[in-house]
Every structure is written in structure tokens, then in C-alpha cells.
Structure 1
Amino acid sequence: MTVHPFIEAEKQAGHSVKRACELMKVSRTAFYARRSGLPGPRAVRDAELTKQILEAHAKSRGTYGAPRVHAVLKRE
């Protein structure tokens, strides 16, 4: 369950975002980052790594498992 819609509703009602975040145990930074809709740096890195893993696996015609794919990625 995500608490961001609740915090957004509190913000629209004129209440303190800081207090709502404290009550819901969410950092204000995370709330505003998620509100922007842009993927974070971690999500961008994960997407690029996923692409590289799928390419290495496809080059092996689906025969390489995690240890060999890891070795290929380290070599590249």
C-alpha cells in the first residue's frame, strides 16, 4: 500500500506535508521525487543493467545462467 496519495490529499487540503510524511514514516524527498514521475537514478541504472543482462543471455542463445552472464558483463 502506498501512502503517497494520502500525503498528496493532505497537501491539497492545506495541511503540512512535513507532518504527514513524519506520520507516515516517509521522507519528504521520496514523496516529492515520486510526485515528479521521473525515474530515479537507481531505476535508470537497473534498466540499463537489465538490458545488458538480456543481451548477454540472448548472445548465448539462452544457454548462459547467472554465473556466466556475470562473467560476460565483467569482461565487457
Structure 2
Amino acid sequence: MRTQANFLDLTIMELLDTAVPRNLASLIIQHMHRVLNQDKNGHALPYGFWMASIIEDFDVPIQVWYSQTVKDVVG
């Protein structure tokens, strides 16, 4: 758990406080990209609950994903 704000946190808080227009979707996508590139341990994608509610609202069909093995691919 973080207990200190970094430059990006402070910048976002300043934008929210001053009501400067910002592209929240772009910020979220950039953060997701950064997490996936920096995290090599296979952690989950951030914003899962938020994304799930949007996917449900738009009735996007979701398939269940299964991990493939070498046997599945070769055999």
C-alpha cells in the first residue's frame, strides 16, 4: 500500500481541483499499459470491477478463457 503521493497523483488532484478538462479514459488506458509493461509477475489488469460494469452495461458477450498448454497447441 502506498502512503505517499507521486507527481502524477498531485497533477491529477490539481486538475480535479481546478476543473481543467482532462481525458480520464486516456489516463486509465495509459495506467493499464504501464502496469502491464512493468509487472512481469502476471498480476491482474487494473480497474477490473469498473471495466466489468461497463462491459455489462453494453451487453458485450464475454467468452471464458482457458489457459492453453503445449499439448493443446501441438496435439
Shorter chain as denominator, the TM-score bin is under 0.3
- Which structure is richer in relative contact order (CA contacts within 8 A, separation 6 or more)? 1
Structure with the higher fraction of residues in helix conformation: 1
TM-score (norm 2): 0.24
Which structure has the bigger radius of gyration?
Answer: 1
TM-score (norm 1): 0.24
